[in-house]
Amino acid sequence: MLLEAVSPSAVAFHAPHFGAVPAVAGAVAGDGSARSLEQLLKDWPLQRRCVHAKQYVFRAGQPRQALYLVHAGFFKTALVSDDGREKITGFRMRGDLLGLDALDQPVYTCDAVALDTGELWELPYAQLRERLPQFQERITAMLAGEIRRDWNWMLALGTLGADQRVAAFLLDLAARLEGLGFSASRLMLRMTRAELGNFLSLTLETVTRALSRLQARGLIAVDGREIRILEPAALQAAQRDPALCH
């Protein structure tokens, strides 16, 4: 999901945070640690890897070689069941780490796939931990943020209806964009409706209907993958509206 005026290198999304708009915007998960990590590593001779849409960064079960810091582009992470069904666990953008969930494992535990052209910084974890004491502090903070996001998402799946989940998704994305210095009112979704539904545990049809209902209420404007948030405060209220538990 990207701003129309921003290149595909700008941003991505994690599980939502719930609360008032100021609380959401002020709790953009991991952004502070992510920015400080990128600043910390900008002068290090790291290997930089260019990837293209639909290209795998790694697959579950492959030997873990490094962490990857997203410098540009938009990615999804997913688990795949034994019978081949995919469950999307997150959408990642600049400042996010790929492979963090496998930090204590010899192999990667999920798939990571580029949704558009991007750039990754390859982080040799063991070397950086030994040579750069601040590196471990940043990684620990980002891991804690991942845990909090997982808790919030479990709460969302258990308590929010379809329209509420879609509203929460858009609000959290807008907050993250704003935290990166971009407009929070104009979004370009880089994932398909089906991928968004997979992440939200909703069907494609349900996501489409939820967007249509939010648009009918004058809260958003939908034009293909472009979403404009017209009434952010009202959209925030809609996120808590029991009448939207479709």
Q: What is the pLDDT of residues 114-170, one digit of tens each?
A: 999 999 999 998 889 888 888 988 898 888 988 898 888 788 878 899 999 999 999
Identify any residues that bridge with 49 across adjacent strands, giving them in sequence order. 120
Q: For the segment 209-230, what is each residue's pLDDT rounded down to a tens digit?
A: 999 999 999 999 999 999 999 9
**Residue 74 CA to its chain's centroid (Å):** 8
Please report, for the chain, how many H helices and E strands are present, in that order. Answer: 8, 11
H/E stretch holding 48: strand 47-51
User: Within the chain, what is the greatest distance between any pair of CA atoms?
Assistant: 55
Class of domain 32-146: mainly beta
Domain with CATH 2.60.120.10 in the chain: 32-146
Residues contacting 12, CB < 8 A, separation 6+: 1, 70, 74, 75, 91, 92, 93, 94, 96, 176
Domain with CATH 1.10.10.10 in the chain: 161-244
93-110 in b/e form (b: 16+ CB < 10 A) is: bbbbbbbbbbeeeeebbb
Judge contact between 92 and 77, C-beta under 8 A: yes
Instruction: For residue 77, give both structure tokens.
Output: 């992470």
The CA distance from 144 to 161, in Å, is 27
The CA distance from 114 to 75, in Å, is 4
Place of tokens 């002020």: 26
pTM: 0.82
Q: How many residues does the chain have?
A: 246
Question: For the chain, what is the radius of gyration of the CA atoms?
Answer: 18
Q: For the segment 47-93, what is each residue's pLDDT rounded down to a tens digit?
A: 999 999 999 999 999 999 999 999 989 899 999 999 989 999 999 98
Q: Name which residue leads in pLDDT, 134 or 193.
A: 193
In this model, does residue 23 exceed pLDDT 50? Answer: no
DSSP 193-238: HHHHHHHHT--HHHHHHHHHHHHHTTSEEEETTEEEES-HHHHHHH
Listed residue (90, 63, 85, 86) closest to 75, CA to CA: 90
The CA distance from 73 to 30, in Å, is 17
The CA distance from 85 to 169, in Å, is 23
Instruction: For residue 218, give both structure tokens.
Output: 């004058």
Class of domain 161-244: mainly alpha
Confidence of residue 37 (pLDDT cuts 50, 70, 90): confident
Judge contact between 24 and 32, C-beta under 8 A: no
Q: What is the pLDDT of residue 246?
A: 59
Q: What is the pLDDT of residue 105?
A: 94
Confidence of residue 7 (pLDDT cuts 50, 70, 90): very low
